[in-house]
Structure 1
Amino acid sequence: MNITSFLIYCVIVTFTPGPTNIAILSMAHHVKMKEVFRYVWGVTAVFGVLLSASVMLNSALAAVMPQILAFMQIVGCIYMLYLAYQVYKMDISGDSAQQAATFLNGFLMQFVNPKVWLFTMTVIPSYVMPYYKSSFVLSIFVLVITIVAFLALATWAIFGMVFKSFLQKHLKVTNIVLALLLVYSAIEVSGIVEFVKR
């Protein structure tokens, strides 16, 4: 097993900008760190759940993956557009950010994120299962990937807190830019780009 390739893949997928990371950055400059981390814990929990499901149901999930992803593309696109609207209308009071910064919202965001489904359902079967079959070893890999995901999310939350005063000083512009990035993510997730390229 190429551990370096495995870790690079995990870091790139979890640390690079995506709808979840953008949402966390947006929340971090509106609410307290404790509240942002409720959302982060919800997101992290889904990583663990989906990775565990990937290990336990690998062959069954591989058979239905195209149908799951097609459904997730539609639901994920709609949810990301809704999230973009929420980010756009957040004000300095942070009321809408407080409503968004919950464990449940973080949990649901990941469940409708096709990027997360694709990553969690392929990383262990592709990188780990060809070399390791032991339940204990597979559990260790699930834990390692979940920790990497948590560290990525925490990094985005801390980044938002560190630059809080700057982001609040340019609040409207920040909200518009973050909302547009979420709209872009929604378009990417929807599959429209691939459809147009055909």
Structure 2
Amino acid sequence: MPLAEFTALLALATAMSFTPGPNTTLSTALAANRGLRPALRFVCAVPVGWTALLLLCAGGVGAVVVAAPALRWGIKAVGIGYLLWLAWKLSGSSRLSEADARRLNVGFWQGAALQFVNIKAWLLALTIVAGWVAGHGDSLQRLAVVLPVMVFFAFSSNLTYAAVGALLRQWLAQGRRLLWFNRAMALVLVATAAWMVAA
């Protein structure tokens, strides 16, 4: 892969991975409410699920999704519903003790599955396959370069957001700060769901 293409890939990966979205919002909220260690299951799940999504798109599933409007809308509907459900659960937690396993718990498999209903993940996977992998004679070699880069960015961005959430944890435990923080995070999830409706 030429250096100019690799540099463009790094720029796209940085912009898409570190801007707020469902994954980074949940990483922050989980770590703020439950601590960094419980959030790490989700942080590790994001690159696993995203890698599976990218491989499926590279294998042609992405083209099927793009060509089938009903399938696209089905993915969006499930994703929107899940984000709104998470926002509802998150908005009611006002104390760290309420964010236990019953209240706010997005584990490894849920985190991996979330990638398949995350429109931002689909857009990124389709963009990368179309721009850096498909239609090139060395597509497998390109995929071998793209995959570790994207895994690194998916992990590091979510770990960064989770670390910020964990750093805020003790400060948020005072008064009603956690309630307002959780409501703000819930609003980000609702805004993401609204963006998914419009996209």
TM-score tier by shorter-chain length is: 0.7 to 0.9
Give the Cα separation in 2 of the matches to 1:25 and 1:123. 26
For residue 25 of structure 1, what is the aligned residue in structure 2? Answer: 28
Q: Cα RMSD over matched residues? A: 2.1
TM-score, normalised to structure 2, is: 0.85
**Contact 2:90–2:182 (CA<8 Å) still a contact in 1?**
yes
**Contact 2:22–2:83 (CA<8 Å) still a contact in 1?**
yes
Give the Cα separation in 2 of the matches to 1:144 and 1:132. 20
1:132 and 1:125, CA in 2 relative to 1: closer, same or farther beyond 3 A?
A: farther
Runs of 4+ in 1 over 4 A off after TM superposition: 96-99
> Unaligned regions of 5+ residues in structure 2, if any?
none
For residue 143 of structure 1, what is the aligned residue in structure 2? Answer: 148
Q: Give matches, 1:62-81, under 5 Å.
A: 62-66=63-67, 67=69, 68-81=71-84
Alignment: residue pair count: 190
Give the Cα separation in 1 of the matches to 2:115 and 2:92. 22
**Contact 1:31–1:97 (CA<8 Å) still a contact in 2?**
no
TM-score, normalised to structure 1, is: 0.86
Counterpart among 42, 46, 54 of residue 49 in structure 2 = 46
For residue 183 of structure 1, what is the aligned residue in structure 2? Answer: 190
1:63 and 1:56, CA in 2 relative to 1: closer, same or farther beyond 3 A?
A: closer
1:147 and 1:162, CA in 2 relative to 1: closer, same or farther beyond 3 A?
A: same
Q: Alignment identity in percent?
A: 26
SS in structure 2 of the partner of residue 17 of structure 1 = coil
SS in structure 2 of the partner of residue 95 of structure 1 = coil
